[in-house]
A and B are shown apart, each in its own frame.
Chain A
């Protein structure tokens, strides 16, 4: 399997993704799935500036990502699929199953969310979306970095 990590992180591309996960997993491409970013040349160029030359960065909205996922899954290189919110990952899981594991990275404070971990804040609606992901067969855990212990979805309720 060439997609070695499906991650939800509201910071999208950042050090924990590129270095923290990217180095030990030998990641050679990142797929950033976000309708807004995919539609904006300025946003795409901005995120390109944040990725080292040895890692390819692809942009796609949900429907385009669903079309391309079989090809990315068949890649010989290791890749990360990254979304900025839970709803986008759930939409991707519906459009292009199976997604067997989902990693919750940073989901930060906003009104309506409550703290579940130092780096994970969730509203009740977002928790339901995560449970929907789990019902579709994904093992959902929170884990900011590979050397930290994963926290099961049950412990985020």
Chain B
């Protein structure tokens, strides 16, 4: 059985903490999700925060926007690590699904998250 992947949610301001809190509130479980904020961060600071949150475990990095310091920091941390993947456009449905599929290899977990997150975007 593969090692459980950590989900690191990286977003502007208080968004990451709010998303993780709501995953716990809605789904009852968010133990393998870690929020990271870019508050007061220069580029080196956010990269360090992300690296600390990832540690040496496999991880999927969920970023709010495909632009900016959160995204660039995540990509730098993932560079050269086959056990770390980056997903942009984080939303609640993909996180709610991820917490129940974190035993997937990060590449599969990231692909699944993109699918689940995309499925949730609809026009009413």
**Contact residues of A with B, CB < 8 Å?**
10-15, 18, 42, 46-47, 49-51, 106-110
Contacts and interface: CB of A to CB of B under 8 A. Distances in A.
Contacts of A51: 67
B79 A14 contact: no
Interface string B25-43: 0000000000000001111
A50 B45 contact: no
Contacts of A47: 72
Given A42-B79, A46-B75, A15 B68 contact: yes
23 contacts: A13-B68, A14-B69, A15-B12, A15-B65, A15-B68, A46-B72, A46-B75, A49-B67, A49-B71, A49-B75, A50-B66, A50-B67, A50-B68, A50-B71, A50-B72, A106-B42, A107-B42, A108-B40, A108-B45, A109-B40, A109-B45, A110-B42, A110-B44
B48 to A, nearest CB: 12
Contacts of A12: 43, 72
A46 B68 CA distance: 10
A11 B71 CA distance: 11
A109 B75 contact: no
A109 B66 CA distance: 24
Interface of B: 12, 40-45, 65-69, 71-72, 75-76, 79
Nearest to A42: B79
* Centre residue among B69, B75, B76 by max chain A CB count within 10 A: B69
Given A108-B41, A108-B45, 4 more contacts: A12-B72, A47-B72, A50-B71, A50-B72
B45 A18 contact: no
B14 to A, nearest CB: 16
A152 B2 CA distance: 56
B67 A18 contact: yes
Contacts of A109: 40, 42, 45
B42 A13 contact: no
A108 B75 CA distance: 20
B45 A15 contact: no
A10 B67 contact: no
A55 B73 CA distance: 22
A13 B67 contact: yes
Contact of A14 (B40, B44, B67): B67
Which of A14, A49, A106, A110 counts the most chain B CB atoms within 10 A?
Answer: A14
Contacts of B68: 11, 13-15, 50
Nearest to A106: B42
Tell which of A10, A106, A108 has the most Cβ of chain B within 10 Å: A108
